[in-house]
Chains A and B, each alone.
Chain A
């Protein structure tokens, strides 16, 4: 098993190494003075890590994502469960959310600045807006796709409403809720970088724009991009851990 995993990882490591090698060769061959080599990116990253600004930017971005995404979970899960159970709520609210959902969070930036200024509240609001709709949709669909036989069984035993909710509706929808959270967190991470590029003075998005504006430090631009990618991967990994919880395993084994 362990050996098999190693063998599976091998091709992707080869591809990664090839990409870095080709990148390096092209930069050397074209004698570019602006575009950095992989090594310059590494030294640039170390420089930022040493003087501490890298951690500040990462912390600022993660804080905004945590706050915006956390608020979105608190709103989306109860709202999605309610819309899934109460048909009237679904037909009333669903059209509104279906209209709001396709609007790119970037399009909200001017309004966010108007309403919330240029502090932390704007990006938190944007992240909230970006991640709340996919989570509502997934949660609602999680409730809608609960198999009738389970609802019939619950009805048969005549359990009180709170028990029906805690032991049937919520756990039955949980796998889809987690899928929604994975989508929501992915979108949130995309949005925080974009939001920080516009109006803020901290965060990885700001770091990228600032590195370019302050002396064409493209080594730091690329470093920022790679760090964003790695953190995004880690966040998704955390969400995958949720999918491995025992209470939702049933959804993925057959």
Chain B
């Protein structure tokens, strides 16, 4: 289904601390993400998911191993892959419009039009001149997604993107994300502890083991969108994934 590999994680190892009290966080992690694929990574909390994301996005170097993007080793973050985190990083001192313009080159002639287009895409038309503190949590998330998409990144790295929102808003944002991704195909790496979110969104779910993190299991989800998380197929997947995480689902 995915002809080309977009991201290759090769034997990545990461630990913190010095020899005496060294904490291995990630141990020999190996996986590939296809071009245009949506991969979700689930794991118990504190298993090094965020560290893994930082390494893949280029914010931290691995102790060992390598991360290749399009076959090239990655050493620093780039606008090719934009990170969206739980806390969010929409600049509070810039308006929505200024935030969307931030990643676009100053001499790009169509930058204003692009900012306009993406504000509309995420449903923020009419709020372009508002400051982030004047927006609700869900709208802030939309602004963050728009700011990421407007620079046309090839990869989206999402680290618990919706977990700070309430359950209803989180579901709504998941549907929104699918709607947007149906319009423009991106490679997505989603890190989450929400198994249903992973099943709802991803083409493949990787389950991480407790620290030091390894890949414990991998589930392909070939179901078409839109998916009903309450369907028997999805529920069977959910039970299987939770079992890998050591939870007996009811």
On A, residues with C-beta under 8 Å from B are: 149-150, 152-159, 163, 167-168, 171-172, 174, 246-251, 253
Contacts and interface: CB of A to CB of B under 8 A. Distances in A.
A251 B131 CA distance: 12
Given A158-B78, A158-B79, A159-B102, A153 B133 contact: no
B79 A157 contact: yes
Interface string B103-139: 1001000000000000000000000000111000000
- Considering residues A153, A158, A246, A249, which has the most beta carbons from chain B within 10 angstroms of its beta carbon? A153
Interface in B48-78: 57, 59, 76-78
A247 B89 contact: no
Contacts, number: 58
Given A150-B89, A167-B102, A171-B93, A249 B133 contact: yes
Contacts of B83: 152-153, 156
B89 A149 contact: yes
- Considering residues B85, B88, B93, B103, which has the most beta carbons from chain A within 10 angstroms of its beta carbon? B93
Chain A contact residues, majority secondary structure: helix
A150 B91 contact: yes
Interface residues of B, number: 24
B4 to A, nearest CB: 23
A252 B57 CA distance: 32
Contacts of B89: 149-150, 152-153
B92 interface: yes
A157 B91 CA distance: 13
B85 A163 contact: no
A246 B79 contact: no
Contacts of B57: 156
Nearest to B83: A156
- Considering residues A157, A168, A171, which has the most beta carbons from chain B within 10 angstroms of its beta carbon? A157
- Considering residues B78, B85, B102, which has the most beta carbons from chain A within 10 angstroms of its beta carbon? B102
Contacts of B92: 250-251
Q: Which 4 A-B pairs give the minimum distances between C-beta atoms?
A: A250-B92, A153-B89, A157-B103, A171-B93
B93 A174 contact: yes
B133 A250 contact: yes
19 contacts: A149-B88, A149-B89, A150-B89, A152-B59, A153-B83, A154-B102, A155-B59, A155-B76, A155-B77, A156-B78, A157-B82, A157-B151, A167-B98, A171-B93, A171-B94, A172-B91, A174-B93, A249-B133, A250-B93
A113 B83 CA distance: 58
